[in-house]
């Protein structure tokens, strides 16, 4: 394994639902087609942004088959992690036969594992698959932060742990990982508003929420950073920054779904325990979108 598993702009796909709460597979296929046409570099279905805890095993399988059919060969990294080893392995066995390029595994949530517990958990997950495993660190969701020492330990000791989606929002923490990680260990920003800073420091791309809405622009920003065109990347970052912030004024993916509904691409239905976007969020998204493409 002598190259990065994933790099560039990856979109953390939302899951569209019909007004009665069923998965809208037709809308999902159209969203994937739009991502492919926009030039994004990989897709991340059925993860946090996809409201995966609310999906049944059958829905996950059907969604992934739609993505696979419409992705036109783009690398795919489905989210498979939950807060138990048994549950994560069940998801791997469910999706691995359908084909994937990597597996996104979140630091277990609610349990609040220690650093040693995190290490043992990821080592156990990686032992049960031949696919590359990408750690997903998002302490704001999970209640547990994976520290750089643990990340580096896993990167150096477990051959198929091949990267991290880092969404701690802590620049110093990610910078420490970048300073010490092996060259073939993919470090991906998990926060749209930090992509510019992290890629300038050596990160390899982003798993983006905003690219659901503006895939062309986010992909262009990432490509500019990969080419070292800092001035162009900075201009795109400033143009996109209001969108980056607006996507998180309520719990993700509520604002993103509101924006996609305003673009006529899908409905804004979410599943409980999430609630639809407030009127304030809808008005904000209208303003952000009008300014983004004026």
Give the catalytic positions in this structure.
136, 165
Contacts of 277 (CB under 8 A, 6+ apart): 250, 254, 255, 257, 258, 268, 285
Which of 279, 284, 280, 256 shows the shortest CA–CA distance to 268? 256
Q: Are 105 and 122 in contact (CB under 8 A)?
A: yes
């Amino acid at each position: 394994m002598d190259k990065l598993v994933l790099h560039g702009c990856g979109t953390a796909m939302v899951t569209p639902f019909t007004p009665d709460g069923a998965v809208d597979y037709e809308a999902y296929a159209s969203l994937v087609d739009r991502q492919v046409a926009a030039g994004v570099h990989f897709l991340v279905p059925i993860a946090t942004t996809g409201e995966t805890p609310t999906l049944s095993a059958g829905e996950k399988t059907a969604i992934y088959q739609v993505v696979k059919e419409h992705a036109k060969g783009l690398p795919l990294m489905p989210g498979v992690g939950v807060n138990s080893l048994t549950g994560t392995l069940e998801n791997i066995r469910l999706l691995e036969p359908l084909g994937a390029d990597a597996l996104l595994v979140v630091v277990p949530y609610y349990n609040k594992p220690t650093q040693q517990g995190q290490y043992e958990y990821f080592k156990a997950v990686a032992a049960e698959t031949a696919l590359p495993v990408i750690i997903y660190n998002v302490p704001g969701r999970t209640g547990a932060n994976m520290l750089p020492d643990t990340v580096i330990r896993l990167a150096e000791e477990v051959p198929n742990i091949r990267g991290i989606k880092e969404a701690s929002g802590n620049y110093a923490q990610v910078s420490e990982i970048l300073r010490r990680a092996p060259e073939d260990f993919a470090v991906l920003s998990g926060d749209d508003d930090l992509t510019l800073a992290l890629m300038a420091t050596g990160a390899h791309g982003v798993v983006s929420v905003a690219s659901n809405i503006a895939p062309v622009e986010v992909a262009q920003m990432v490509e500019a950073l990969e080419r070292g065109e800092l001035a162009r990347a900075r201009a795109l970052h400033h143009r996109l920054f209001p969108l980056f912030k607006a996507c998180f004024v309520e719990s993700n993916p509520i604002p993103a779904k509101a924006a996609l509904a305003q673009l006529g691409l899908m409905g804004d239905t979410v599943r409980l325990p999430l609630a639809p976007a407030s009127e304030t969020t809808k008005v904000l998204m209208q303003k952000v979108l009008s300014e983004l493409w004026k």
